[in-house]
Amino acid sequence: MSELSPYSFFQSVEKSFDKAARFTTWDIGILEQIKACNSVYRMRFPIKRDDGTIEVMEAYRVQHSHHKLPCKGGIRFSDEVNQDEVMALAALMTYKCAIVNVPFGGGKGGIKINPKKYSSYELESITRRYTSELVKKNFIGPGIDVPAPDYGTGEREMAWIVDTYTSLKPGEIDAAGCVTGKPVSQGGVRGRKEATGLGVYYGVREVCQMPDVMEKLGLTVGVEGKRVVVQGLGNVGYHTAKFFRENGAKVIGLAEFEGAIFNEEGLNEEDVFQHRKRTGSILNFPGSTNLTVNTDALELDCDILIPAALENVINIDNAQRIKAKIIGEAANGPCTPEADEVFIHKGILCIPDMYLNAGGVTVSYFEWLKNLSHVRYGRMEKRFTENMNARILSQIEELSGKSVSDKERLFIMHGADEVDLVHSGLEETMITATREIMEIWKSNVNIPDMRTAAYVSAINKVATSYAELGIFP
């Protein structure tokens, strides 16, 4: 609960769930079971700081649903971490996995720290100790619960987790699958780092390809030329901005902690990132205008707004002032239920977090499958495909008497690498999920928004799975 919303984050998720449940025909008992958090593990453990003092850490791991195993969800390092937040994020993971047909139950973890205030040595001992606490209670493992990066964590922390797990479970052949988002050298998959941002791009692009939806919003079809604002230049925000820019959109605004910048001609996220690294601030980026209050960026006149930082940033306070036609929720829970009501009233299309930012978990699924199969994607078929393509091409050239350019030859012959297959699997997943949700939305005029349609999709899939398990006769 905060002054911006009368509901806690978990209550907001439940509220959205209830709103959607009305459009399903499932028994109330099934709906209650789907909503409930199955296991909540709250832990306290000490770590020794570099100056010799002892500090007690507050940490959580929540397994929201066991309807499919393992559970899956990121680990967050943030000052704001609390039980309610972790429960809400775990619940969103259940719904997210269901929507994108990834066979996991939802989970989430968090440690209440600001990682910027700890040395890398301290962060390593916190992460390793957290992992051993999870092992002790059987809350981690390739078939039990598989964490991943989230706000404030990345490849480095995932490498510490897999190393700690492996040393505590010697001989476990599938140990690398205990966590995803690892560096490639530690069993990670190529394409994971950019996956969430790329998934956001694919999801928004699919919506922008729908003529009827674009007509209603008063926008032209396609992503090209769209004016985009991104809040948060971390992993998700950076890559979302990158893929929009590379595909012809203009990123006219970028917001970070310390402020925001605006340039109608478009910003290059990598240049801004380097500028911030050099100067310690996003502000004063050459050619751009400073907005000293970072939330002002959310209110810029634009076609697509991408909140990619934290939850509750668009709320009853500022929702009326949002000028974007489309909001793509890259972060988890950036818009409150009160803001949703305003969007419905104003005709703003909000593409919901629970499926739009599913790129991370989708590629995590591919990483987990790679770990269990112990073979890199593309290893078995790449050469075969290239040899086959070369033969087909030479036959066509012989029969037609014409030959293709060297550039075309390379393109046609290319056999898929790991990253090609991962991107292709992600694209397919996001397109399918977008179409399924839109179908549900269009099939019932009383469904008020895309978030509700996404929840209906998730509820139907999880409930079907319970029913098929025979848990509910």
Q: By CB under 6 A, name the binding residues for ligand NAD.
A: 149-152, 196, 231-237, 255-257, 294, 308-310, 330-332, 357, 360
Q: Smallest distance from the beta carbon of 196 to ligand NAD, in angstroms?
A: 4
Nearer to ligand NAD, 294 or 336 (CB): 294
CB of 315 to ligand NAD, least distance (A): 12
**Cβ distance to ligand NAD smaller for residue 300 or 308:** 308
Indicate the residue among 12 and 357 with the shorter CB distance to ligand NAD: 357
CA atoms within 13 A on the CB side of 357: 30
Q: Shortest distance, CB of residue 429 to ligand NAD, whole angstroms? A: 14
Query: Among residues 234 and 415, whose Cβ is nearest to ligand NAD?
Result: 234
Q: Check the CA dihedral 416-420-422-425 and report its sign.
A: negative
Query: 104: which 2 tokens?
Result: 């996991």
Minimum distance, C-beta of residue 387 to ligand NAD, in the bound complex (Å): 36
- What end-to-end distance do the CA atoms of the chain give, in Å? 37
Least distance (Å) from ligand NAD to the CB of residue 333? 7
Q: How far is the CB of 306 from ligand NAD (least distance, A)?
A: 10
Q: Closest separation between CB of residue 150 and ligand NAD, Å? A: 5
Between helix 195-208 and helix 359-373 the angle, nearest 10°, is: 130
Shorter beta-carbon distance to ligand NAD: residue 141 or 147: 147
Neighbours of 446 (CB within 10 A): 7
Choice between 359 and 378, CB closer to ligand NAD: 359
**Nearest position to ligand NAD, beta carbon:** 234
Q: How many residues does the chain have?
A: 473
Determine contact, residues 462/67, Cβ cutoff 8 Å.
yes
Q: Which residue has the tokens 């100056």?
A: 51
Residue with Cβ nearer ligand NAD (121 or 257) = 257
Give whichever of 187 and 328 is closer to ligand NAD, judged by the CB atom. Answer: 328
Residue type for position 60? Y
Give least dist CB 413 to ligand NAD, A. 33
108 is a catalytic site residue: yes
Judged by beta carbon, residue 332 or residue 457, the one nearer ligand NAD is 332
Q: In the complex, what is the shortest distance from the CB of residue 216 to ligand NAD, in angstroms, rounded to a whole number? A: 27
Q: Which of 80, 88, 71, 97 is nearest to 15 (CA)?
A: 88
Which member of 108, 193, 242, 461 is catalytic?
108
Q: Which residues are catalytic?
A: 108
